[in-house]
Amino acid sequence: MARDFPALEQRVNERRLVYLDTAATALKPRAVIEAVTQVYARDCANVHRGLHQLSQRASAAYEAARAALAGFLGARSQEEVVFVRGATEALNLVAASWAMPRLGQGDRILVTALEHHANLVPWQIVARRTGAILDVAPIEPSGEVSLDVLASRLTDRTRLVAVSHASNVLGTVLPIREIARMAHARGALLVVDGAQAAAHVRIDVKDLDCDFYALSGHKVYGPSGIGVLWARAELLAEMEPYQVGGDMVADVAFEGASYRAPPHRFEAGTPNIEGAIGLGAAVRYLRGLDAAAREAHERDLLEYAVSTLEEIPGVQIVGSPATRIPLLSFTVEDIHPHDLATFLDGEGIAVRAGHHCAQPLLEQLGHSALTRVSFGIYNTHADVDALAEALRGARDFFSVF
Ligand code: PMP
C-alpha cells in the first residue's frame, strides 16, 4: 500500500518519514496525483461551457467524478452530490440555505459536545440570527454519546440535529442510524459531519437515513479545496442557492434570474475542476481496495497503537470509546503537546498537537492541548514502534529540564 504514496518515499530529518497525521490530511496516492496532472497537462479547460474537445473532456471527467462520489456515498442519484470546498463549506451551505430561512424564534438545533468548530460555529450563527436555541448534548467520560442523553435533549421544537459521524479528537464513531431515527421521530432533520468518518467507515447515506452528509476530499486521499455536500434530492430542490453567479443560472435578465436544478444551482462560478476529478480518482482508488481487509488493517493498527502506548510510562490516552476510527489523542506527563510534536518531528514523525479545532470539547476534557496520532491505509506496526521509541526518547530528553 505504502508504495502507492510517493510522499512516503522522502526522508525527514534524515529519517524515514512516519506520517501519523492522516486525520489532518491524508497523503495522496499516485492515482490522484496523475488524475490532477492529467487535467493540467491535457484536459485543461473550463467545464459546462465550451464546445471544444478539451472542454468536453474536462466536463465529462468532472461529471464522472460526481457519479463516483454518488457511488461512494450510496446516493440515490448523482444529482444529490454538490461539489463544495470541503466539509466546512458543506456545513455552511446547509446553515445558510436550509436553516437560516426556515428556523425562527424558539426553534432548536441540537449538537453534541464533541463537535469540530466547523459543525458548531455555523449553528451558533444560525441561532443568533434566527432566534433559535442551540442545545449541546454532553458526552460520556468514555468519549461516547449516549442515545438516552441525546433523546433527553430532543424536543418537538428541535428542527435540526447536527453531529459528527466520527470525532477528530477522540475517534468516537457515533450511531448515526439510531440518531437519525430519533431525530426524525421528533420531526427534525439530521446533518452529519462526515469529515473524519469518510476515510474509514463504509458510508451508505440511504442506510444511515441522514438528510445531509458533509465530507472533505483531502481527508479521503483526494485533493484539498474540494469536498461534497450530499443532501436528499427533495431538500436540495427546495433550497435557495447561497452563492450566485455564472454556471448556476438558467436564464438571466436585468430584472432577475432563474436557477438551474440541483446540484448545479449550488455550484456558482468555475468550480475546482481538477479537485473534483482528483477526488473522483481518490474514491475510485479506495473502492478498488478490499474494504474488509482495509478495515481489518486499520482496526489492527489501532489496537496495536493502544496497547503499545499504554505500556509507556506517563502516556495517557484520552477517551475509550467502544467504536473508534484509527486515531488517538493523548498526553505525556510533564511534556507540552507542542514541545512533543516538535521533538517527534525531529525524529521524522508527523503528528498533530493543539486544540484540534474543538476548543469547547478540550475544555470539557480539562485540556488546553492534546497530541494526536492518526492512521491511514499506508501505516504499519513499524510506524507505531517508531512512535513508541520516540516517545520514550522524549521522556528522557524532557526529564533533563
Ligand atoms: N469536521 C471534522 C470532524 C474535522 O475533523 C474537520 C477537519 N479537521 C472538519 C470538520 C473540517 O474539514 P475541512 O477543514 O476540510 O473543511
Residue 370 confidence (pLDDT): 96
Cis omega (within 30 of 0) for bond into 263? yes
The CA 153 to ligand 1 mean position distance, Å, reads 25
Is ligand 1 within 6 A of the CB of residue 111? no
Distance CA 31, CA 11 (A): 22
For residue 18, give the C-alpha cell: 512516519
Pairing of strands 189-193, 158-164: parallel
Q: Are 201 and 220 in contact (CB under 8 A)?
A: no
Q: Return the H-helix or E-strand segment holding 330.
A: strand 327-332
Q: Are 177 and 209 in contact (CB under 8 A)?
A: yes
Residues taking part in catalysis: 357
Q: Are 110 and 150 in contact (CB under 8 A)?
A: yes
| pTM listed for this prediction | 0.97
For residue 7, give the C-alpha cell: 510522499
Nearest to 317 by CA among 267, 258, 387: 387
Distance CA 179, CA 194 (A): 14
CATH class of 2-21+291-398: alpha beta
The CA 87 to ligand 1 mean position distance, Å, reads 6
Numbered ranges of CATH 3.40.640.10 in the chain: 43-287
Is ligand 1 within 6 A of the CB of residue 88? yes
Quote the crossing angle between the two packed helices 273-287 and 53-73, to the nearest 10°. 40
What is the CATH architecture assignment of 43-287?
3-Layer(aba) Sandwich (3.40)
Distance CA 128, CA 307 (A): 45
From first to last of its 401 residues, the chain has per-residue pLDDT tens of: 889 999 999 999 999 999 999 999 999 999 999 999 999 999 999 998 778 999 999 999 999 999 999 999 999 999 999 999 999 999 999 999 999 999 999 999 999 999 999 999 999 999 999 999 999 999 999 999 999 999 999 999 999 999 999 999 999 999 999 999 999 999 999 999 999 999 999 999 999 999 999 999 999 999 999 999 999 999 999 999 999 998 888 999 999 999 999 999 999 999 999 999 999 999 999 999 999 999 999 999 999 999 999 999 999 999 999 999 999 999 999 999 999 999 999 999 999 999 889 999 999 998 999 999 999 999 999 999 999 999 999 998 998 65
Residue 156 confidence (pLDDT): 96
What is the distance between the terminal CA atoms of the chain, rounded to a whole angstrom?
Answer: 41
CA angle 89, 201, 85 (to 5 degrees): 15
Q: Name the amino acid, one letter, at 335.
A: I
Atom of ligand 1 nearest to the CA of 219: 15
Numbered ranges of CATH 3.90.1150.10 in the chain: 2-21+291-398
Is ligand 1 within 6 A of the CB of residue 87? yes
> What is the interface pTM, i.e. ipTM, of the complex?
0.99
Distance CA 331, CA 398 (A): 14
Residue 122 confidence (pLDDT): 98
The CA 116 to ligand 1 mean position distance, Å, reads 7
Is ligand 1 within 6 A of the CB of residue 357? yes
Atom of ligand 1 nearest to the CA of 193: 1
Residue to probe by mutation, ligand 1, list 93, 193, 359, 362, most atoms within 8 Å of CB: 193
Is ligand 1 within 6 A of the CB of residue 225? no
**CA R_g for the chain:** 22
Q: Whose CA is nearest to atom 4 of ligand 1?
A: 195
